[in-house]
Amino acid sequence: MADIQLQNLSKRWGTFVGVQTMNLHIADGEFLVLLGPSGCGKTTTMRMIAGLEDTTEGDILIGGARVNDLEPKDRDIAMVFQSYGLYPTMTVYENIRFPLKVRGIPQAEHHERVMRASATVELDDFLQRKPAALSGGQRQRVALARAIVRKPKVFLMDEPLSNLDAKLRVSTRAQIKNLHHELKTTTIYVTHDQIEAMTLADRVVVMNKGAVQQVGTPLDIYDRPANTFVAGFIGSPAMNLIEGRMTGGVFEADRVRIPGFGGIADGPVTLGFRAEDARIADTGEIAAPVYSMELLGDASMATVQAGGALVAIKAAKDFMAQIGQPIAAHVPADICHLFDAATGQRIERP
């Protein structure tokens, strides 16, 4: 059991910045999810915590002790690698058992522990196979079992579910959540999948280009994105972002006019709102011809071109409109988020 502190953590290769001055305190027992687009430095951050990558700057503290100079094996962590990292000459059973063996855990406990870990990820039928004879999803589960066979201070999981099919992903996700509830081990979990992030995380860290964009609970991040990057990254579809001008509390852009922003300074701003918060109406703040219509199953999504961007608006599933037909959407000021046009930072409303 341990908390983790990242203090001014940076990683550079030459002039290329992998991770930029990251500051983070991960509480004991917390489930933290790193979320961000490909290449944003999630794996790099994790590898630095694991000790597989030297830090360029900054300190890593696990349980209050600085671990920068410790070998990976002395940091007491378990990691699920994005590329599995299974031992090809060993059977699944031996793979899962390996951490117990090299850490000198009494032989008598091995079998029971391996069986419990393999049962958790439903691997019992494959224990005598070599990794080469497994599918991607099965390999991933072996990697997961190998990580949970021990009780380390910290779990690091790098996209552990990326290769599972939808059904197994849901059930393994539930298992991971349950396991965390049971073991209460501090966990850092990397994913691309927002639903995974939302369902698993105590807190989510959104990263972009090596820099932390926002740290917060899943709801926080969804409801109060800290900047246009987070707003445009979280949610499916992501938040609509329209660049326009604020004049006397009224936001204006091409085909858009939203009043009700008292107390906001005049000037260029970016306005954001979620497709599901807006509503189709006879008249409204946005009036534009339909650009495309998509049926989602439980609803349909109308896209219009307004304010120089494509704006999605969720509609009832029986809503029908021809492409080019003019429609209007009700977008009241209280569902809108405002961002600084230059920096992209959130503007708090009075």
Partner 1 sequence: MSTTVADRRPASLRLALGAFLVFWLILAAFPFLWTLWGSFKVEGDFFSRADWMNAVSGTLTEAETGAPFTGDGYYGAWVQEEFWRAGLNTVIVTVSVVVISLTFGTLGGYALSRSPYRYAFWLLIIALVFRAMPPITLVSGYLLPFFEWNLWGHLPTTIIVLVAINQPFTLWMLTSFFRNIPKDLDESAMVDGCSRFQAFRHVIIPVMWPGVITTGLFSFLLAYNDFAVTSMLLSRENLTMVPKIESFLGTTQTRGNVMFAVASVVSVTAPLFILVMFFQRQIVSGLTAGAVKG
Ligand X SMILES: Nc1ncnc2c1ncn2[C@@H]1O[C@H](COP(=O)(O)OP(=O)(O)OP(=O)(O)O)[C@@H](O)[C@H]1O
Positions touching ligand X (CB under 6 A) are 13, 16, 18, 36, 38-44, 82, 192
Please, how many CA atoms are within 13 Å of residue 185, restricted to the half-sphere of its CB?
24
CB count within 10 Å of CB 262 equals 11
Task: Considering only residues 58 through 77, tell me which ones interact with partner 1, judged by CB under 8 A.
Answer: 71-73, 77
CB count within 10 Å of CB 78 equals 21
Specify the residue, 62 or 275, whose C-beta has the smaller distance to partner 1. 62
- Residue 172 interacts with Mg ion (CB under 5 A): yes or no: no
Calpha distance 222→274 (Å, rounded) = 10
Q: In what order do the strands lie in the sheet with 203-208?
A: 77-80, 154-158, 186-191, 31-35, 203-208, 211-216
Piece of the chain touching Mg ion by CB under 5 A; list 35-43, 58-66, 93-101, 251-259: 35-43
Which of these, 146, 137, 136, 163, lies nearest to 91 by C-alpha position?
146
Q: Which does 40 bind (CB under 5 to 8 A by kind): ligand X, partner 1, Mg ion, none?
A: ligand X
Specify the residue, 82 or 227, whose C-beta has the smaller distance to ligand X. 82
**Using CB under 5 A, which of 11, 43, 139, 338 touches Mg ion?**
43
- 96 contacts 145 by C-beta, under 8 angstroms: yes
- Residue 79 interacts with partner 1 (CB under 8 A): yes or no: yes
Max CA separation in the chain (angstroms): 75
Q: Which does 44 bind (CB under 5 to 8 A by kind): Mg ion, ligand X, partner 1, none?
A: ligand X
Q: Which does 111 bind (CB under 5 to 8 A by kind): ligand X, Mg ion, partner 1, none?
A: none
Task: Considering only residues 198 through 217, tell me which ones interact with partner 1, judged by CB under 8 A.
Answer: none
Specify the pairing of strand 309-315 against strand 300-306: antiparallel
Piece of the chain touching Mg ion by CB under 5 A; list 80-88, 139-147, 225-233, 299-307: 80-88
Structure tokens at 110: 């091995």
Specify the residue, 148 or 207, whose C-beta has the smaller distance to ligand X. 207
Contact residues toward Mg ion (CB under 5 A) are 43, 82
